Amino acid sequence: MLQNDTDTITGIDVEKVRNDFPLLTRKVFGKPLVYFDNAATSQKPSVVLDALEDYYRRYNSNVHRGVHSLSQEATEAYEEARKKIAAYINAKHSHEIIYTRGTTESINLVAAVFAKEFLKEGDSVLISAMEHHSNIVPWQLVCEEKKAKLEVIGINENGELLMDDFDSKLTGKVKIVAVTYVSNSLGTINPVEEIIAKAHAKNIPVLIDAAQAVVHLPIDVQKLDADFVAFSGHKIYGPTGLGILYGKEEWLNKLPPYQGGGEMIKNVTFEKTTYNDLPYKFEAGTPDVAGAIGLGAAIDYINSLGRDNIFKAEDELLEYAMNALTAVKGLRIIGPLDNRVGSISFLLEGFHPFDVGEILDKLGIAVRTGHHCTQPVMDFFNIPGTVRASLSFYNTKEEIDALVKGLERARVILS
Amino acid sequence: MTINEAQDEIIEEFSFFPEWMDKYEYIIQLAKDLPIIDEQYKTDDNIIKGCQSKVWLHPEYKESKIYFTADSDALITKGLVAMVVRVLSGHTPKEIADAEIYFIDKIGLRTHLSPTRSNGLLSMLKQMKLYAVAYQAKSLQS
């Protein structure tokens, strides 16, 4: 469902698109900001900021329950956003799009209701060794409660999944597979289509953590045939506080509600409550209306540039960055060298990632340091953490050069 | 030198460095000068874990005063640790327990004390005060 303006890849005029992101003009410690923490959150284009302001200034009201005009307008915009999101990931129905607070809540939702209905003592849940803590802990919690086992697909030294290990652990005891499409700390793109196909051959559903993937790869949930897909709006240029859970209609209908409250009910008496239809069954309480409208605006923005143009620009920048970084003396990439996205984790041999991050910060370069909420990955590589530079299409080659220079500077200062 | 005199001295030293990089180079120098903790004390018991970097802290009680030695796996953290050790080490438990640490704020490194920074510095300060309170209670008993 690619909505390219031109249907051809024309590329991105980076200087022009940078003007769309007001924050990028900032200075930090007197230096022009170089923002390389895009995997944590992306910056927001003006059209998203305008959509938020317009909503609050002109038609802020609660959705779905008001007969008055403002409520109608807000409801329309809110539901229109749902349709845009559904189209963006090629969901069959817009009611397969559940609004949540973020990827974390999306996964917690599935873990909680899936376990309640389908997980029993002696069953297992299969995740991978490169999961973000938010795709580990929710499953750990339900496994503890149900006396089920959490099984983990191993990884190799390049930060890739051991598919043999996956095959051998995909036993009849597995009730659900939950894996990330793209590793946030390693940048690895996982063969999720293969994982889904193999799991489905054994009638096992699959949840895909697409928090990182949704920014850099075209997601087509029907082609993937994923049962659940979780991601956050703020990583694809939308506001914080709104996440998405895609679920196949048949699965969402089979699962019990998550939280109780307003919006998710049809009829309430003290004896019995009947639940609302999809997607509202999973959306208790007043939702993040502004967040949804903001994400809708972000998707419009992506489509206006052309998703393929964005990905092409990112690929070029990634290639440039990998060449530049691997040429830095003593720099070790943690993660694969290809089949990856632009979240580049690395270490400067002999220097603590925290020290490197501190020096880069003082040079105006924002990177992430630490374990990136993937402690098991750091344990696997036996490192205290990494420096992670994560790129976006609005970054420039000059910024990569600034990073390389910053690393050289850090080495001199820290030596 | 009192704890506050030591703090004022550090503030004075940092006033010579208007540039951030100079401040950091000085902190790194301090890190390199820090008398390193005796290897035997670099135990798991003495680890103060931050999210980003680790700190080891060992107290010794001699003639009514506490002497600290410390180390960190990150150089900048180690420099900050060196300054805190310089300010608090060699004082009585009461002086340490009552001390108000203001120099980190004054030299522009307040963010290093925020819990989100998680470099172990804040936890280390708390731990030093806990040791002081413990030795204080012990000396009152005896």
- Map residue A98 onto helix, strand or coil: strand
Q: Does the distance separating the beta carbons of B24 and A358 come in below 8 Å? A: yes
Tokens linked to A305: 């540039």
Model ipTM value: 0.86
**Whether B128 contacts B68, CB under 8 Å:** yes
Split at pLDDT 50, 70, 90, the class of A10 is: confident
Q: Identify the residue among A133, A354, A361 best suited for mutation to test binding to B, counting B beta carbons within 10 A and taking the highest.
A: A354
| A404 Cβ contact list (under 8 Å, min separation 6) | A324, A325, A327, A328
pLDDT tens, residue by residue, A83-108: 999 999 999 999 999 999 999 999 99
A413 touching B, CB under 8 A?
Answer: yes
pLDDT tens, residue by residue, A101-137: 999 999 999 999 999 999 999 999 999 999 999 999 9
Tokens linked to A63: 């959705």
The secondary structure of residue A155, as a DSSP letter, is: B
Query: Which residues of B are part of the catalytic machinery?
Result: 51
Instruction: Give the pLDDT score at A136.
Output: 98
Residues A259 and A17: their CA atoms lie apart, in Å, by 40
A385 touching B, CB under 8 A?
Answer: yes
A139 dihedral zone (left: phi>0; alpha: psi -120 to 50; beta): alpha
Q: Does the distance separating the beta carbons of B77 and A354 come in below 8 Å? A: yes
With CA atoms as reference, report the closest residue to A207 among A283, A284, A120, A112: A112
Q: Which residues pair with B58 in a beta bridge?
A: B69
**Mean pLDDT per 10-residue segment, chain B (142 residues):** 96 91 90 84 83 86 94 90 93 96 87 62 87 90 72
Q: Does the distance separating the beta carbons of B52 and A385 come in below 8 Å? A: yes
A355 touching B, CB under 8 A?
Answer: yes
Instruction: Give the pLDDT score at A83.
Output: 98
The answer on pLDDT for A333 being more than 70 is: yes
Q: What's the whole-number mean pLDDT along residues A249-254?
A: 97
Query: Which residues of A are part of the catalytic machinery?
Result: 373
**Whether A339 contacts A319, CB under 8 Å:** no
Instruction: Give the pLDDT score at A9.
Output: 66
- Tell me phi and psi for residue A35, to 5 degrees: -100, 105
**Whether A179 contacts A152, CB under 8 Å:** no
A359 touching B, CB under 8 A?
Answer: yes
Cα B131 to the center of its chain, rounded Å: 13
Q: Does the distance separating the beta carbons of A371 and B73 come in below 8 Å? A: no
The mean predicted confidence, pLDDT, of chain A is 95
A211 touching B, CB under 8 A?
Answer: no
pLDDT tens, residue by residue, A257-306: 999 988 888 889 999 989 999 999 999 999 999 999 999 999 999 999 99
Tokens linked to A130: 């490169």
Strands of A240-367 (E only): list them: 243-247, 265-268, 273-275, 331-334, 343-348, 365-366
| B59 Cβ contact list (under 8 Å, min separation 6) | B66, B67, B68, B128, B131, B135
The answer on pLDDT for A11 being more than 90 is: no
Instruction: Give the pLDDT score at B142.
Output: 66
Strands of A74-129 (E only): list them: 97-100, 124-128
Tokens linked to A354: 């925290």
Query: Containing H/E element for A388?
Result: strand A386-390
Alpha helices by DSSP H, A14-68: 14-18, 46-54
Q: Does the distance separating the beta carbons of A385 and B75 come in below 8 Å? A: no
- For A354, the closest of B25, B28, B74 (CB atoms) is B74
With CA atoms as reference, report the closest residue to A139 among A182, A180, A200: A180
Query: Is A113 buried (19+), middle (13-18) or exposed (0-12) by CB count in 10 A?
Result: buried
Alpha helices by DSSP H, A147-248: 163-169, 192-201, 213-216, 221-224
The answer on pLDDT for A3 being more than 60 is: no
The amino acid that residue A384 corresponds to is P
pLDDT tens, residue by residue, A348-361: 999 999 999 999 99
Instruction: Give the pLDDT score at B118.
Output: 57
Instruction: Give the pLDDT score at B21.
Output: 87
Smallest CA–CA distance from A353 into chain B, residue: B74
Query: Is A214 buried (19+), middle (13-18) or exposed (0-12) by CB count in 10 A?
Result: buried
Instruction: Give the pLDDT score at B50.
Output: 65
Split at pLDDT 50, 70, 90, the class of A5 is: very low
pLDDT tens, residue by residue, A361-410: 999 999 999 999 999 999 999 998 999 999 999 999 999 999 999 999 99
